[in-house]
Amino acid sequence: MVMGIEKKTGCFNIVDLFSGVGGLSLGFQQEGFELLLANDNDHDAITTFQYNHPQVYCYEGDIKTLDQKRLSHILGGKKVNVLVAGIPCQSFSMKGQRILNVKRSDTRDSLFKEFMRITGIIKPEIVVIENVKGILSIHNGLIKETIINDLKKMDYKVNYKMLNSADYGVAQLRERVVFIANRIKKDNLFPEPTHSPENYVGVAKVLSNPSKYNHEPRELHGKVLERVKLVKPGKNWKSLPKELQTGSTHDGAYGRLDPKKPAFTLTTRFDTPPGGYVTHPTEDRAITVREGARIQSFPDDFIFQGKKISQYRQVGNAVPVSLARALAKTVKKMLMQNE
């Protein structure tokens, strides 16, 4: 079990769908929530989840197979206070009106509808959905409105807000949209920022003295290493001599992290300097899995499983733990108002 989870009175229950390795879950657990069920179909991610949460029921498999009978068996009659989910971005990549009349045979496109189906089965008091900021503008706002309308049909009051992880002490400028919906007739609360640009956490603070776990630096060679050595903190490929410039369309390619500033959003390939601002502030290499996990505010005793390339993907896909904990605090406040 991950250290640093403080058991508190007034414990509430949560279910985590599309859980990945459990960044959302961990933040809620740190605020005393009890996790009843985590579901994902990514084998390595759910293996990591189970390794770090051996006491939690982790269901690896297609969300469509979580029917009412199976959910009832897993939950054992326990009330679900909160349902959290980071619905995969692919499920919002549809064209036109397809989301409104989705075919069950299309796994990616059905994820959103499957989430709503399970919401209708377990009827949580509060729903929390985290997603990329593009969800607000896709198809002229159709996706956003569909989320709101579907939840309203189930008697939920819905609000959404763009949150920047750096505002909550995460050493990363990671913007995400969060929807909060409740059927307990309360105002939906969003966390107030604890940090501002003047006191954002710089990467130097989280990268010092890294844990030995998941910390195996990738050795660079050839032109990649030659370029990396010439890039100063906060700069990227555009600062290189013309003969070494790549002509990359990625503005952040070969970017070196500025130790005094938060990182930019980590992607699933932060192991390769051409992929963005992922070069260590002072060393000529990309940051490691553990360093990425620290930037994502995971504790050092949270161990990632699977092959290294999978570990990078797991970290890059995760919800920053400190952001999740900030959300958990406000959700708990809403629930306690209802007691």
Per-residue tokens: 98: 């397809």
Residue 245 neighbours by CB distance under 10 Å: 14
The DSSP bridge partners found for residue 289 are: none
Top-tier CATH class for 13-193+320-337: alpha beta
Specify whether the CB–CB gap between 329 and 318 falls below 8 A.
Answer: no
**Residue 3 pLDDT:** 42
Q: How far apart are CA 196 and CA 191, in angstroms?
A: 14
Residue with tokens 């070969």: 254
What sign for the dihedral angle of Cα 315, 320, 321, 322?
positive
Sequence length of the chain is 339
Query: ∠195-81-318 over CA atoms, to 5°?
Result: 45
Residue 188 neighbours by CB distance under 10 Å: 21
User: pLDDT tens track of the chain, all 339 residues?
Assistant: 454 444 444 589 999 999 999 999 999 999 999 999 999 999 999 999 999 999 999 999 999 999 999 999 999 999 999 999 998 865 554 433 444 444 444 444 478 889 999 999 999 999 999 998 888 888 788 888 989 999 999 999 999 999 999 999 999 999 999 999 999 999 999 999 999 999 999 999 999 988 899 999 989 999 999 999 999 999 999 999 999 988 766 778 999 999 999 999 999 999 999 999 999 999 999 999 999 999 999 999 999 999 999 999 999 999 999 999 999 999 999 999 876
Assigned CATH topology for domain 199-316: DNA Methylase; Chain A, domain 2 (3.90.120)
β pairing state of 13-17 and 34-40: parallel
What is the CA 177 to chain-centroid distance, rounded?
A: 11
> In the chain, where are the structural domains located?
13-193+320-337, 199-316
CA-closest candidate to residue 190, choices 330, 18, 289, 4: 330
Active site residue 11: no
- Choose the catalytic residue: 89, 132, 224, 303: 89
For residue 290, what is the enclosing H or E element? helix 289-295
Q: How far apart are CA 111 and CA 243, in angstroms?
A: 47
**If DSSP codes are grouped into helix, strand and coil, which group holds residue 144?**
helix
For residue 305, what is the enclosing H or E element? none
| Termini Cα distance of the chain | 29
Q: How far apart are CA 157 and CA 314, in angstroms?
A: 32
**Residue 91 pLDDT:** 52
**Residue 122 pLDDT:** 96
Q: How far apart are CA 10 and CA 315, in angstroms?
A: 31
